[in-house]
């Protein structure tokens, strides 16, 4: 998505360059708050629209433009989170955050240069994993904003309070409540995963792929935690399980049945939200992106996004 405020030749005057340099930070923040890159793009666009709606004198009166942009973007996200729950209640089936590919897998990228999609500005760390985003979804809007701003982006509670319209003490309590949710889910917050853990994770996913391709139920069951949960997101646009599937035997049989229904399904090992995952293709077109939760060499969670509106980064050429 090209920025409407950027000249066609890519050149920027110094003042505009300083403002536009905040775009990466804003995209990172908005995606973590909303779980949707499409919505994050809209938030950032609206933020810049509000900036350029001010007169030059009003802009010059703002001592920290970056802080102003962050405050406005966060407040827009907070408003959207408040209405998102009502929209999710009308959503067909389960809702899963929009999956992000690794930079080398962006199908919309331009080799050797700047990509046309703001996904190239999203930093892939532990605060972007699907497991982390799923826990964020369980938080109240105020908890989510306070926690992400303070614990992920390191804003002080005084700064967070100014954004969410509460006292610093109240924001501290919101962030504390959010951390309890993370601890209860055994999901890491912002620590970077070790290379060994990532390699082990990738090994489990590779074995899972082989067992699934072979339709080997016993092998699948051995790789799945007994309490594994599989969730699909079709958004009412394509077929997907409307409710979570639980238990290793049920999940394994569901996957084998699914593979039998689509004999030409290609399974590709790819990085999804910074962790090893799978992309399912039919005729070279991505039809699903799968993320996994792995603990003690067993798969504990499977998140499968089939909603085509969430697969644009994986399917556009």
The per-residue pLDDT for range 33-73, each reduced to its tens digit, is 999 999 999 999 999 999 999 999 999 999 999 999 999 99
Mean pLDDT value across residues 126-136: 90
> How far apart are alpha carbons 280 and 266 in whole angstroms?
6
pLDDT at 107 over 50: no
What share of the chain in percent tops pLDDT 70?
Answer: 85
Mean pLDDT value across residues 233-259: 93
Q: Which residue has the higher pLDDT, 196 or 165?
A: 165
For the ranges 7-16, 190-199, 288-297, which has the lowest average pLDDT?
7-16
Q: What are the helix (H) ranges across the chain?
A: 14-20, 23-34, 37-52, 56-60, 65-90, 130-137, 141-147, 157-164, 168-185, 195-213, 217-223, 248-261, 312-315
pLDDT at 265 over 80: yes
Q: In this structure, what are the phi and psi dihedrals at residue 272, rounded to the nearest 5 degrees? A: -125, 120
22: its two tokens: 């905040």
Categorize the per-residue pLDDT at 256 as very low, low, confident or very high, splitting at 50, 70 and 90: very high
Instruction: Choose which CATH entry (3.10.450.50, 3.30.70.260, 1.10.1040.10, 3.40.470.10) describes domain 195-315.
Output: 3.10.450.50
pLDDT at 273 over 50: yes
> How far apart are alpha carbons 298 and 24 in whole angstroms?
35
pLDDT at 118 over 70: no
pLDDT at position 198, please? 81
186: its two tokens: 């055994």
Q: Which residue has the higher pLDDT, 186 or 297?
A: 297
Helix (H, G, I), strand (E, B) or coil at 286: strand
Mean pLDDT for the chain overall = 86
Sign of CA dihedral 234, 238, 241, 243: positive
For the ranges 23-37, 112-126, 139-153, which has the lowest average pLDDT?
112-126
65: its two tokens: 């433009």
For the ranges 101-105, 108-112, 278-282, 310-314, which has the lowest average pLDDT?
108-112
Q: Which residue has the higher pLDDT, 117 or 91?
A: 91
pLDDT at position 105, please? 55
pLDDT at position 20, please? 80
Tokens 């958004």 sit on residue: 235
> How far apart are alpha carbons 304 and 317 in whole angstroms?
22
Cβ atoms of 289 and 311 within 8 Å: the answer is yes
pLDDT at 109 over 60: no
Tokens 């399974």 sit on residue: 267
Question: Domain coordinates of the chain in residue numbers?
Answer: 1-90, 195-315
48: its two tokens: 């810049």
Q: Contacts for 200-206 with beta carbons within 8 Å, 24 or more apart?
A: 200/294, 200/297, 201/275, 201/276, 201/292, 201/294, 202/269, 202/276, 204/292, 204/294, 204/297, 204/298, 204/299, 205/269, 205/276, 205/277, 205/278, 205/292, 205/294, 206/269
- Residue 101 DSSP one-character state: B
């Amino acid at each position: 998505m090209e920025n409407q405020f950027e000249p066609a030749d890519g050149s920027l005057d110094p003042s505009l360059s300083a403002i536009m340099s905040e775009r990466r930070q804003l995209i990172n923040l908005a995606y973590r708050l909303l779980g949707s890159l499409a919505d994050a793009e809209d938030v950032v666009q609206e933020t810049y629209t509000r900036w350029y709606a001010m007169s030059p004198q009003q802009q010059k009166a703002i001592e920290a433009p970056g802080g102003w942009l962050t405050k406005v973007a966060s407040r827009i996200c907070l408003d959207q989170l408040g209405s998102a729950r009502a929209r999710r209640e009308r959503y067909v089936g389960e809702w899963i955050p929009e999956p992000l590919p690794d930079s080398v897998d962006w199908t919309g990228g331009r080799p050797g240069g700047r990509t046309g999609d703001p996904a190239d500005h999203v930093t892939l760390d532990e605060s972007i994993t699907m497991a982390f985003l799923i826990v964020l979804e369980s938080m109240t809007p105020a908890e989510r904003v306070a926690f992400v701003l303070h614990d992920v982006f390191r804003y002080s509670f005084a700064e967070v309070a100014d954004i969410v319209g509460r006292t610093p003490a109240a924001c501290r309590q919101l962030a504390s409540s959010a951390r309890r949710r993370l601890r209860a889910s055994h999901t890491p917050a912002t620590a970077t995963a070790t290379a060994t853990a990532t390699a082990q994770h990738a090994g489990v996913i590779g074995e899972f792929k082989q067992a699934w391709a072979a339709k080997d139920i016993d092998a699948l069951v051995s790789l799945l935690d007994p309490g594994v949960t599989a969730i699909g997101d079709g958004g009412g646009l394509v077929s997907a399980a409307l409710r979570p599937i639980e238990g290793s035997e049920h999940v394994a049989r569901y996957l084998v049945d699914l593979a039998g229904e689509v004999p030409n399904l290609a399974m590709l090992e790819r990085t999804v939200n910074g962790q090893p995952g799978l992309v399912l293709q039919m005729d070279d077109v991505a039809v699903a992106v799968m993320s996994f939760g792995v603990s003690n060499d067993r798969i504990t969670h499977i998140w499968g996004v089939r909603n085509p509106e969430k697969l644009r980064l994986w399917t556009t050429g």
